[in-house]
Chains A and B, each alone.
Chain A
Amino acid sequence: MAIENVLMMNVVGGSQYEDAFARDIFFYNDIQLVEAMNEIDSGRFTLPIREENIGELIGFASLTSGGDIIDEKEYVDRVKMLSDLYNGELHFDMKRLSKLDYSLEEILDKIKKYEAFSDEKIGRLNTLKEEIAKVETSIQAYEYLKELDVPMADLDNLEYFTYRLGSVSKDNAARLKSIYNTVTSVVFHVGDNENEEVFLVISPQELQVETQRILKALGFKTIEGLDKSLTKVPSDILTDLHLRRVQLEKDIDNCTTDLENFCQENKNEANDLYNALTLYANITIMKKSMAFSKNNFYFSGWIPKKDRSKLEAIAKKYPGMIMIFSEDNGGVKPPTKLRNNWVFKPFETLVKMYGVPAHDELDPTPFLSVTYLFCFGYMFGDVGQGIVLLLAGLIAGKKGIELGHVLTRMACSSIVFGFVYGSVFGNETLLPTLWVRPFQSINVVLLTAVVVGVAMLLCAYAYSIINKLKIGDIKEGWFGPSGVAGLVLYLTLLGCVLCALGYVPGGKPFAGPLGILAVVLIFLVLFREPIANTIRHRKLYDTTAGDYYVEAGFGLFEMLLGMLSNTLSFIRVGAFALTHVGLFMAFETLAKMVGGGFGGIIVLLIGNILIIVLEGLIDFIQCLRLQFYELFSKYYTGDGNEFMPLNTELQKDTL
């Protein structure tokens, strides 16, 4: 079975064990956390009323949710601090963590060294950087004044005048120039930057207010960076500032080197601390989903059924711990945990694109994988191009792209079919064919595709019937369009058509009776609700009879149309196999038209690239369409929730 059974696990344990237990669960990690408080509030988390449980039962009355009292910030902040200190070079590693043997006190003690160092060095580094930024601003400001051969002290100490250095936009500069001669200030144009012109304005102190108003009207923006403590001539100040900048840069270098040395020297220990703190952060986050009474902690989570004994072994380590498992957790829909072998596993991505299977539904992944691979290979059968896809898939898979793994499997199928067709990079002369060459047996290729399609549809019917009967849906399972009646109807219609057209030797006389059977079955499907309700001794119609027949009437129409269109839809699988060859033939002709040789090779190369990229993509989409539209619509609902194991979830939260 590709859907793993899960159990709801409820745990009550002594407060003294909460950390140790959380740690064990973290290392086990194949668990989906559930808020214990919610479980208790909703009455799903209960304990048998026995004398030995009395303490735990009383605890129910005075519970606090972990989320209200626990804060992981203390650990998360430190993890972040270490991560920043090492520029993200430290990594969380379960194996390393399992070997670590630090107590929490030790960790908190050791981390102090890093905190102090980080505070000091990074603090200093930031101060230096701020200072260098300040020096640079000053350099820019004094650059405008460097022609000025007066000590700045003289300007600063003017008794009756003040000066301002600032810039205005180019448009306003023109306006400022037009009032040069009448304004109550001396205005010097001292330079310009990107969009603005820079002026030094010297004005009498008595006319401060007026000057200020006019400058404001012109949008005059003071240039920052002039410092009254710098008293020399601007050119000398600039020399000093440049020296200061060199010195600061040196200081920054030294500081950085110190930092690097420290980090290098302590990397091992830091990595241990990083892991240990991540663990504590994770444990703390886990504890947020627990509930606490004075003496006990309460914990809930979904686990795979097969691991029950593993968890029971954990519980045994802690005296007095109560662990209760339940399969149907009070009617709550359990999460779905998929389990597929390595060949099929990547195809779970495609299934999840449509929806996660419900826990009581058959996992469509194996069926999807096999049929998907067949269809793609059939459409895109080529040894050479398959190898290119394989390489692309391997690279993408290495880079962590989930679809890369799907691609490698698709590529393998393509290679297999390449041998079947005897095609290498479109060339059909290098390899012998194991079956047919698509373009030479067009009808065979198309018909085979339809026949295989029919087989797939039959499997889809089977899946649908199992899924529906599993949840006790008699109406749809037995009499529905995708149920047993639908399947028999499909087969009957198929038989009827084949007999009537003479494909079945001596079958012609059967066409009539099969037709009559088909009509009976159609009525069976039409009356499925009253029939099913009669069997279950319920009232005939769930809604009014009128509504039901209008809907069911259209449903019938859709069903019959669907049977025809779904079957014919599979012709595309054959058609694309032909397109694949056809496209190559077009490029081959083009190659000949350019006179072969080097030009021809280029044309074939481009042709192959186009075929791989464009047709590869189209085939990928067409296969997906067949799966989602023709097959999934018959048997798959996909309204489950995915099982989210602890590990990934916590890591995301922490960093």
Chain B
Amino acid sequence: MANSKYACVNTKIMAMRANSLKPEDFRAMIREPDINGVFSYLRENTYYAPFLTEVDTTHLHRQAIEIPLNRMRVYEIEKLMHYLNDTDKRLITTYLMESDIESLRLLIRGLARNADLSEIVPMMVYSEKYTTVPFDKLVKVHSWDEFKKALINTDYYRILEIFKTISIDEDLFPVEKSLERHYYDKLRRTIEKLPKKENKKLITTFRKGIDLLNLIWFYRGKRFYHLSREELLAYALQGGLRIKEEDIQKLTEVKTMDDFMRVVSAPKYEEYAFLFNHEKSIDLHMERRRERFLYFAFQSLFNSDDNGLSKVIAYIRMAEFEIADITSIIESKRYRMSAEETEEFLIRYFN
């Protein structure tokens, strides 16, 4: 039985979902010869149009389109907030933290390479309404210390204060990983507070997402960064569905990549086998595979009979994947990829 508490927001979501791009839209954009064609299609045929009116069409590039699309996404989430309260609202606010952190990351990278932060402003996308970060102050700072000081009343201060400097080689990586970990810790804690019965499938999907992130982290940490076990553990995320504390221990204490692949081939990880059971393209498509898995998970969540926030979260995530796919199509134009090749790189799957 439908939960009347969410009747209103779910109706709104259904209306918004009706605007989402259809497979025909994606096919049409893939058929366009160049980035200008994709842009025109978006502006003439999709609900993104209002956010694309001010784009300068003479120098189109990926970010010129991607940023307004993301602005639209944040704007839509803000609109949904009116229909929610308490824990639900808190969850969406926490979800919006991801865009805060992304903007912070841009600024921190800017600081690390001594760039003028005010030039980064146009690239930042966050919810002005719900952010806790004083971005207006941050973009005016000139040093790392000033940057940290401006954040003193936020959670981010505690994360950044232990970094005395911000060098590209030594500090960027731990800073970014720490911010990401903070976000997932906070998201997990907010999700834990949701009513379990009504949000069963949502919680399961979230936890599977954590499993995937951890697996990819361990795989890459071992294969590319050659990190110590302790470092892998330090940034491991908690709250996974199948990968619990002891599994994390096992996955991180392997010595070689072969050992790792052996561990992940255990029946326990069968659901996630799609990440690794490929001959050549594991590294290239790993992220896309994770997203495709989540795309289908959220699609089924959207159509599920969960009584809680499922539809809201599923919609938000699918909107995010939609933008990611549009961005991939734009990139495919730059590399002059064929239609089949382009489809390979999309999260959604036709046919």
Contact = CB atoms under 8 A, between A and B. Distances in A.
Interface of A: 169, 171-172, 174-175, 178-179, 182-183, 210, 213-214, 216-221
A41 B309 CA distance: 72
A179 B236 CA distance: 12
B235 interface: yes
Interface stretch (B141-149, B154-162, B320-328, B341-349): B154-162
B228 A216 contact: no
A266 B13 CA distance: 75
Interface in B208-252: 228-231, 233-236, 238, 245, 248-249
A171 B185 contact: yes
Given A175-B238, A216-B162, A217-B235, 14 more contacts: A171-B238, A174-B238, A175-B233, A179-B230, A183-B230, A210-B228, A216-B174, A217-B174, A217-B177, A217-B230, A217-B234, A219-B158, A221-B161, A221-B162
- Looking at A169, A171, A172, A217, the one whose CB has the most chain B CB atoms below 10 A away is A217
B312 to A, nearest CB: 25
A216 B161 CA distance: 11
B162 A175 contact: no
A169 B158 CA distance: 9
A178 B228 contact: no
B162 A220 contact: yes
Given A171-B185, A219-B178, A214 B238 contact: no
A193 B185 CA distance: 19
B159 A217 contact: no
Interface string B172-212: 00100110010001000000000000000000000000000
Contacts of B181: 171
10 contacts: A169-B158, A172-B234, A178-B233, A179-B230, A210-B230, A217-B178, A217-B234, A217-B235, A219-B159, A221-B158
A217 B253 CA distance: 18
Contacts of A221: 158, 161-162
A630 B62 CA distance: 61
A486 to B, nearest CB: 51
Contact of A175 (B158, B236, B253): B236
Nearest to B231: A217
Contacts of B178: 217, 219
A15 to B, nearest CB: 46
Nearest to B171: A216
Nearest to B229: A182
B236 to A, nearest CB: 7
A251 to B, nearest CB: 31
Contacts of A213: 231
Q: How large is the interface on B (under 10, 10 to 19, 20 to 34, 35 or more residues)?
A: 20 to 34
**Which 4 A-B pairs have CB atoms at the shortest separation, nearest pair first?**
A217-B234, A171-B185, A214-B230, A179-B230
A181 to B, nearest CB: 9
Contact of A214 (B163, B228, B253): B228
Nearest to A210: B228
B328 to A, nearest CB: 32
A178 B248 contact: yes
Nearest to B234: A217
Contacts of B161: 221
Nearest to A218: B234
A178 B232 CA distance: 11
Nearest to B248: A178
- Looking at B178, B185, B233, B245, the one whose CB has the most chain A CB atoms below 10 A away is B233
- Looking at A213, A214, A219, the one whose CB has the most chain B CB atoms below 10 A away is A219
Nearest to A171: B185
B162 A178 contact: no
Contacts of A172: 234
B250 to A, nearest CB: 12
Contacts of B238: 171, 174-175
- Looking at B228, B230, B231, the one whose CB has the most chain A CB atoms below 10 A away is B230
Contacts of A169: 158, 185
Contacts of A214: 228, 230-231, 234
A174 B234 CA distance: 10
Contact of B233 (A171, A179, A219): A179
Contacts of B177: 217
B233 to A, nearest CB: 5
A178 B231 contact: no
Contacts of A171: 181, 185, 238
Contacts of B245: 178
A195 to B, nearest CB: 8
A512 to B, nearest CB: 64
Contact of B162 (A174, A182, A210, A219): A219
A626 to B, nearest CB: 41
A222 to B, nearest CB: 8
A175 B228 contact: no
Contacts of B248: 178
A213 B163 CA distance: 11
A324 B230 CA distance: 87
A218 B158 CA distance: 12
B154 to A, nearest CB: 14
Contacts of B235: 217
Nearest to A170: B185
Contacts of B185: 169, 171
Interface string B21-61: 00000000000000000000000000000000000000000
Nearest to A178: B233
A286 to B, nearest CB: 37
A194 B238 CA distance: 21
A169 B238 CA distance: 14
A221 B157 CA distance: 12
Contacts of B162: 216, 219-221
A210 B185 CA distance: 25
Interface string B106-125: 00000000000000000000
A70 B181 CA distance: 58
Nearest to A196: B158
A214 B236 CA distance: 13
Contacts of A178: 233, 245, 248-249
Contacts of B249: 178
- Looking at B163, B228, B233, B234, the one whose CB has the most chain A CB atoms below 10 A away is B234
A219 B253 CA distance: 22
Nearest to B186: A171
A192 to B, nearest CB: 15
Contacts of A179: 229-230, 233-234
B228 to A, nearest CB: 7
A336 B231 CA distance: 75
Contacts of A183: 230
- Looking at A172, A179, A221, the one whose CB has the most chain B CB atoms below 10 A away is A179
A329 to B, nearest CB: 44
A218 B159 CA distance: 9
Contacts of A175: 233-234, 236, 238
A171 B236 CA distance: 11
Nearest to A177: B245
A217 B159 CA distance: 10
Contacts of B163: 216
Nearest to B239: A171
A216 B166 CA distance: 13
Contacts of B236: 175
A182 B234 CA distance: 13
A289 B137 CA distance: 37
A199 to B, nearest CB: 14
A216 to B, nearest CB: 6
B192 to A, nearest CB: 12
A171 B249 CA distance: 17
Contacts of B228: 210, 214
Nearest to B185: A171
A169 B156 CA distance: 12
A309 to B, nearest CB: 57
A214 B232 CA distance: 10
Contacts of B233: 175, 178-179
A218 B174 CA distance: 9
A586 to B, nearest CB: 38
